Structure 1
Amino acid sequence: MDTLFQLVVGAILLLWGAFVVAFPRVVIKLALAAEKAGLAWNPQARWGTAWVRLLGAMLGIGGVITIVTALFGLPSR
């Protein structure tokens, strides 16, 4: 994976994770709307904000790992 691409993907994951952690209720409302429309079944919308924040934290950690490996020049595979 090209280093620039790896940095961009890492930044997107990091920002997406930060958004999910900062605004879990928005994510829950979107998940409930998708579930109501029959597009998805999302148990996280029923389990509360802690599970959504855990998802955001995992996304953020994945983004940080991707960015750090890109900065040190390690391939993603």
Structure 2
Amino acid sequence: MDKVSEELLEIALQKLGKTRADFDREVEELKESSSIEVMGNLVAIMMESMNATANMLSLIMMQNASLQSEIEALKGGETNA
């Protein structure tokens, strides 16, 4: 870690009332309890969500373009009676 990150960590630990040793121990426990499979699943879920969002946006954009062309066609077909 760089100096600024170390200082910010120390300030945060002081506010939390934890020692650096406590923090390091908790980090190691979290590292041991997490697995590559869990991280892979999380990334897969994120990618599926991004794909679904992109598909929805694409659909909205196509519908918007269609509505714009219909509006333009109606404007061109107006008559003053």
TM-score (norm 1): 0.38
Q: Which has the higher helix share?
A: 2
More relative contact order, 1 or 2 (CA 8 Å, 6+ apart): 1
